[in-house]
Amino acid sequence: MNRRSLLTTVAVAAFAAAGPGHAMDLEHGLLPGKPYEGTTLNVLSVVTPQFDGLMLRDQEFTDLTGIELEWTFIPFGSLQEKINAEGVAANGTFDVVNYLDSWGPPNAHWLLRIDDLMERDGISMGRYPEAFAKSASFEGEILGFPLRAHPQLLFYRKDLIPEPPRTWAEVIEVGRKLKQTNPDVAPLALYYNNDGNRQNLFVWLNFLWAAGADVFNDDWTAAWADEAALKATEDYIALHTSHRVTNPNSVAFNEQDARQSFMQGKSAMIPVWWWAYSGFHNPDSSTLTKDQVGFVGMPSYNGVTKTYAISMPFSISEYSANKEASWEFLKWLSNPDMDKANAIEREVGGKRIVNNVVTHISSLTDPEVNAANDGIQSAAWESLRESGIMPQIPEWPEVGDILSAAIAEAAAGGDVRELMTAAAERSDRVLRRAGRIR
């Protein structure tokens, strides 16, 4: 019997042991009878106010199940190394782990598939936007729930830009005007740096997909060296090299640097994840007030808008000795009521929490959630209607690094076509070696 079948069998046995008449009627579909009372789960999570809000509510879970929780929070910059180390150690130190979606495929061999459990307990990935749902899957099987997930939005200075741009051509036009009227503020903060997390691909994908191009062809050969893709990449790079509407430091910027530039009033626009909104007008981190910060959907390119979405799923480790209890935790952690409450309640356990991140369609379209967050969920829902994700293959980190290096060199003044063509040839060699290209 494989591990997945064993988990389902044990959980169903616990359910049956509760006796006749004890339907799965506990809140959020938890098993009755506290079958895992006394278990302690170790949870690995990224540092974020969103998950602080969940952690501060976890006594509810313990009261319902008798399961105790120990959280370990890791900064994003160190999380990938920690996840890789956990996979190598294979000792089940953490029962539940949180990771960036593109790290899922290389680690899929030790992340538990939950399809059978979801079917048993009546949970559907249809509660999430399509891009979020895909980001928590691998080869048609579900690895976990996308509990932290982000669409892209364009944030801008409302006091400097009365009418926000809706196209990249308008971004250039607005940027040129700003250079004349407000020369001390760079028009646009972009992040072209090859930072090791492939952040300089985030906006590039908007151009690529809107041009009708893609990262790979059907046979897994690189598609970014096709003519439409090359032209889109040239236009993305030209924001910095030709039009010069970007912050002069954009070649050195990673995403955090660009956000800091916007918060410090040094850049007037930034395309970035929606979670940044609260920090943009937080007096502890920003020089801007809420009245100065506006947001709209991502600009279109050649009349088409298709954005990149990202998620950070939670999954159960195959090495965990507490898989059944971990599934109870994931059900509680991912429930729609929790998603909503964590975006509208501003104090939890005596601690102030400001979070606008939700992942359920019901929350994205909820009037109360939108009212508590200046309507940002509504803008995000529109952005997510046409969104894609990074390729979900184990080789993506290596290929993505090749692409990221080419983008960085191009932004620094290199020849776009030569760099992207060379990157395509290197990618093909990697995927041929892996057996993906025949």
Q: Report yes or no: 42 and 70 within 8 Å, Cβ to Cβ.
A: yes
Interacting residues of 266 by C-beta distance below 8 A, sequence separation 6+: 185, 186, 189, 247
Q: Distance between alpha carbon 332 and the CA centroid of its chain, in Å?
A: 21
Q: Tell me, what's the pLDDT at 18?
A: 40
DSSP string, 63-79: HHH--EEEEEEE-HHHH
Number of neighbours of residue 124 by Cβ within 10 angstroms: 9
Closest CA to 190 of 165, 162, 155: 155
When computed from its CA atoms, the radius of gyration of the chain, rounded to whole angstroms, is 23
Q: Tell me, what's the pLDDT at 197?
A: 82
DSSP string, 291-333: GGEEEEPPPBBTTB--EE-EEEEEEEBTT-S-HHHHHHHHHHH
Kind and range of the H or E run holding 433: helix 416-433
Number of neighbours of residue 436 by Cβ within 10 angstroms: 17
Q: Report yes or no: 369 and 358 within 8 Å, Cβ to Cβ.
A: yes
Closest CA to 212 of 233, 190, 201, 228: 228
Interacting residues of 434 by C-beta distance below 8 A, sequence separation 6+: 394, 395
* Beta pairing, strands 307-308 & 387-388: parallel
Which pLDDT tens digits describe the chain residue by residue (438 residues)? Answer: 344 444 444 444 443 444 333 344 467 889 999 999 999 999 999 999 999 999 999 999 999 999 999 999 999 889 999 999 999 999 999 999 999 998 999 999 999 999 999 999 999 999 999 999 999 999 999 999 999 999 999 999 999 999 999 999 999 999 999 999 999 999 999 999 998 889 999 999 999 999 999 999 999 999 999 999 999 999 999 999 999 999 999 999 999 999 999 999 999 999 999 999 989 998 988 999 999 999 999 999 999 999 999 999 999 999 999 999 999 999 999 999 999 999 999 988 899 888 999 999 999 999 999 999 999 999 999 889 899 999 999 999 899 999 999 999 999 999 999 999 999 999 999 999 999 999
Distance between CA 385 and CA 382 in Å, rounded?
5
Q: Report yes or no: 41 and 68 within 8 Å, Cβ to Cβ.
A: yes
Kind and range of the H or E run holding 423: helix 416-433
Distance between CA 333 and CA 147 in Å, rounded?
8
> Is residue 388 helix, strand or coil?
strand
Q: Report yes or no: 103 and 83 within 8 Å, Cβ to Cβ.
A: yes
Alpha-helix runs per DSSP H in 110-213 = 115-121, 130-135, 168-181, 204-210
Distance between CA 340 and CA 336 in Å, rounded?
6
Domains, in order of start, for the chain: 3-150+310-387 (3.40.190.10), 152-308+395-433 (3.40.190.10)
Distance between CA 232 and CA 209 in Å, rounded?
9
